[in-house]
Structure 1
Amino acid sequence: MSKAISGRVEFDEAARMAQTVESGPRYAPLRLDEVSPEGQEQVDAIRAAFHIPESRPFPDVSLITLRHPGMFKGQMVLGIELAARGTIPGRERELMILRLARLAGAPFEWCEHVDIGKAFGITTEEIERVLEGSSATGWSEHESAMLRAVEELVADHCMANSTWDTLAKTWDEKQMLEVPMLVGSYLMTALQQNTLKIQPKGGFDYR
């Protein structure tokens, strides 16, 4: 079994940006009037689930993946269930996604969830601490276990008993069932966004 990375993830950020962002995106976003009727149903469902007004532009990343509306639908059903209807509190969910994005070397996912995380009350200090991982000082026992769960699931595709037991002190069975699905869903999304070379707002700048 591979060893989970509980500390800072070291890699050449410029090289990673060149690999996952440079010369992208690989497909142009559709215009809304180019989206298929099946895809438009998903646009409407997402606006309703996340309370996105009609006046707000639809994200380019979604308009790219709507080129495959059936796949997009499956991805969004799970995404809405985990993010809009999930039982893990938003702040804790976003801390886990940020750790996953860093482990996956995912510039777009990282930048998007820095902004989302701040909206849920995550501070710049805590974002810095996410870079240091579950072993960083300053986390509560529960928070450290949340990040360790991400690290273990990415490295070993399984959560250790000690991590499970710590989280289960605080989270109920629905929340515990969501953890591996949350990590797997956002890892899948990172793979997709990295490969499509989706353009982030800015590298791995966490501030």
Structure 2
Amino acid sequence: MSQRHEPAGHARTRLMPLPEEHWDPRTRKLLAIAPRDPGSRVPNIFTTLVRHPDPYEQFLPFGGQLLRRGRLPDRLRELLILRTSCNTGARYEWGRHLPLAKAAGITDADIDRVTEGPEAPGWTDLERHLIQAADELNSGATLSDATWEALARHFGEAELIEIVMLVGQYHMVAFFLNSTGVRLDPGFDSTGCAERARSHG
């Protein structure tokens, strides 16, 4: 079983989003291409990360490649991200990805299973192996031979690379969110993961 971390959603905010009145020309240019929430609001993750503009500039296209232009089906990608959010206690990540997951066809029953782990009844064989992969990468930073071979029956080399990089990317994002205490944006709900994970952990 993977090691779950205490949820970080109520941790003290260590870095605040950069207020718009402090955006210099480069910051404005970088944030101009960031995804927007309703009302043209820039999500807190971006207005916080942009305090270090050099990695921010590289982060957005790489993250967009995995999120929007990757080879994994949307449903499978979001299952991996949600399980990684649970494993790292990243409430922000969980809350932001719930709407994306539901748009990809992930049901409330699926979301319950995400918090229960790979042994929860109802997964397909492929989904169970993906959840197991997220857990193995979280706990040991590698995939077991059995999990790799199971996934290789469904995916080619590029998809196998993408699975590992996707989970790694969202670990990195969780480390940033949890350590800086980024607050979830208005209109998003982070409840569910931490409470159910504790009950099943």
Contact 2:90 2:178 in 1 (8 A): yes
- 1:80 equivalent in alignment to 2:67: no
Match of 2:28 among 18, 35, 40: 40
Q: What is the CA-CA distance between 1:169 and the residue it aligns to?
A: 1.8
Contact 1:35 1:67 in 2 (8 A): no
Match of 2:162 among 164, 175, 178: 178
- 1:31 equivalent in alignment to 2:15: no
What per-residue deviation string (whole Å, max 9, x for no partner) do you get for residues 114-138 of structure 1? 2221121111100000011111111
State the partner residue of 1:142.
126
State the partner residue of 1:22.
10
State the partner residue of 1:98.
82
Contact 2:11 2:178 in 1 (8 A): no
Letter in 2 for 1:139: W
The structure-2 alpha-carbon separation of the partners of 1:84 and 1:32, relative to structure 1 and needing over 3 Å to count, comes to farther
Contact 1:106 1:194 in 2 (8 A): yes
- 1:197 equivalent in alignment to 2:181: yes
The structure-2 alpha-carbon separation of the partners of 1:141 and 1:56, relative to structure 1 and needing over 3 Å to count, comes to same
Gaps of 5+ in 2: 197-201
Pairwise CA RMSD: 2.3
Q: What is the CA-CA distance between 1:184 and the residue it aligns to?
A: 0.9
CA distance in 2, matches of 1:167, 1:41: 40
Contact 2:34 2:42 in 1 (8 A): no
Contact 2:126 2:151 in 1 (8 A): yes
Task: Normalising by structure 1, report the TM-score.
Answer: 0.82
Q: What is the CA-CA distance between 1:88 and the residue it aligns to?
A: 0.9
State the partner residue of 2:199.
none
Letter in 2 for 1:122: I
Match of 2:96 among 84, 94, 112: 112
Match of 1:129 among 101, 105, 113: 113
Gaps of 5+ in 1: none
> Identity across aligned pairs (percent)?
30
CA distance in 1, matches of 2:183, 2:148: 35
Stretches of 4+ moved more than 6 A in 1? none
> Is the partner of 1:46 in helix, strand or coil?
coil
CA distance in 1, matches of 2:150, 2:77: 16
Q: What is the CA-CA distance between 1:63 and the residue it aligns to?
A: 0.7
Q: What is the CA-CA distance between 1:145 and the residue it aligns to?
A: 0.7
The structure-2 alpha-carbon separation of the partners of 1:104 and 1:124, relative to structure 1 and needing over 3 Å to count, comes to same
Contact 1:36 1:69 in 2 (8 A): no
Contact 2:4 2:86 in 1 (8 A): no
The structure-2 alpha-carbon separation of the partners of 1:23 and 1:88, relative to structure 1 and needing over 3 Å to count, comes to closer
CA distance in 2, matches of 1:72, 1:164: 32
Aligned residues: 191
Contact 1:65 1:72 in 2 (8 A): yes
